[in-house]
Amino acid sequence: MYGGHFYNESTRRYVAVFGTLFNNIQIERKSGSTSVQRMKVPINYAPMQKVLARLEQDPNLDAPAMSLPRMSFEMTGMSYSPERKLTSLTRQVSGSPTSDGSVTTMYTPAPYDIEFQLNIMTKHNEDGMKIIEQILPYFKPDCTVSVKMIDELNTYVDIPILLTSVSQEDSYDGDFQTRRALIWTLNFTLKGYYFGPTSPKKQIKFADVNLHPNFPPLTGGGEQIHAYPVVRVGMVDDVDPNSLTENAQYTILDLGTVENINPYWTNNGVTDVQNAWKKYLYETPAGQADLKLNDTFTATSRHYPTSDAVVSLTRADIDIDDSWEGYAVIKDGDS
């Protein structure tokens, strides 16, 4: 319609799912309390009139493979379901960080109600009761099944199948030698979806967002949320200090705690986290401002400031192939 061929086999999947619900129904005939016959009720996709015409043309069943009881079903129509419509611009995405840099996307599907009719044809009324009783308890009034709809996205969709009506008809008409068929008709509504084509898109690996909500400030300024990729580097004292690249820029994610001050600094009289960072970064800590979370610094060849501090490469130094974690830094304009 808009260029480009696609076929998701949606209707074929719905027909297969509906027929599968009823393809293992069995009836048992007894003589007293003893079972004398157990048979599986065959089912096929065909209009009821076609099955009855086949029976009338061969009332003595000279040709094999046509007997009662049996079931048939067919799709009788479909209609758009506006109450189940989702936002048209929403996309479903399938991908992983280890993929080749692309993801598979697809817009939200169109909801449609698909009507099915199940016909149960029996020669004996008791056979029809046995079949009906194996169906009705599962529809209250619907039965939900999970269907894999889009192979490329590995998408499973929960599809409710609603039982809307049950009716019975006795087609007996004529003399006593005329074949009799008791017909149960069950109408169902399958609440399905029709999906559009899939398309490849480049995978988003970096995001840098500044959000300024309209919160009333106390002393000027509001809240800011900065979200960007982070490559975490644990600054533990048993790791070679050269694991930080000298002269590279890093962001502080965790200052560490007083209890875990590096023994090197403790032995040299430094017992405060801020002073440990100052001693790490400067020759003389006096006069330097205290460091805070999200502050940046330039790595040197000295020992680490505290054993449980955590830093990250700054955004400018993060490579697209680095193993990174999402991290949000919240800044308050009121400090």
DSSP codes joined into one string, 136-153: GGG-SSEEEEEEEEETTT
Token digits for 277?
């960072």
Q: What is the mean pLDDT of residues 76-82?
A: 94
Confidence bin at 58 (pLDDT 50/70/90): low
pLDDT at 292 over 70: yes
pLDDT score for 160 = 95
pLDDT score for 187 = 96
pLDDT, one tens digit per residue, over 149-179 is 888 888 789 999 999 999 998 866 655 555 5
pLDDT score for 233 = 64
Q: What is the rounded CA–CA span in Å between residue 59 and residue 62? A: 8
Amino acid in the structure at residue 182? L
Q: Which of 148-162, 227-241, 284-298 has the highest mean pLDDT?
A: 148-162
| CATH 3.30.2000.40 applies to domain 10-202 | yes
Higher pLDDT, 5 or 205: 5
Q: What is the rounded CA–CA span in Å between residue 162 and residue 193? A: 15
Token digits for 183?
């017909």
Strands ordered across the beta sheet of 209-211 = 209-211, 223-230, 325-332
Token digits for 74?
């067919």
pLDDT at 335 over 50: no
* CA-based radius of gyration for the chain: 35
pLDDT, one tens digit per residue, over 243-274 is 677 778 888 877 777 666 666 667 777 777 87
CA angle 295–298–304, rounded 5-degree value: 90
Amino acid in the structure at residue 164? T
Domain ranges of the chain: 10-202, 209-332
| CA distances in angstroms from 302 to 138, 241, 246, 265, 295, listed in the order given | 71, 7, 9, 11, 19
Amino acid in the structure at residue 180? R
Amino acid in the structure at residue 73? F
Token digits for 142?
């619907």
Q: What is the rounded CA–CA span in Å between residue 244 and residue 82? A: 58
Amino acid in the structure at residue 10? S
pLDDT score for 74 = 93
For the chain, what is the mean pLDDT? 76
Q: What is the rounded CA–CA span in Å between residue 71 and residue 131? A: 10
Q: Using DSSP bridges, classify how beta strands 296-298 and 249-254 pair: parallel, antiparallel or unpaired.
A: antiparallel
Can you give the pTM of this predicted structure? Answer: 0.58
Q: Look-up: residue for tokens 């962001």?
A: 251
Nearest alpha carbon to residue 49 among 169, 162, 189, 188 = 169
Q: What percentage of residues in the chain have a pLDDT greater than 70? A: 64
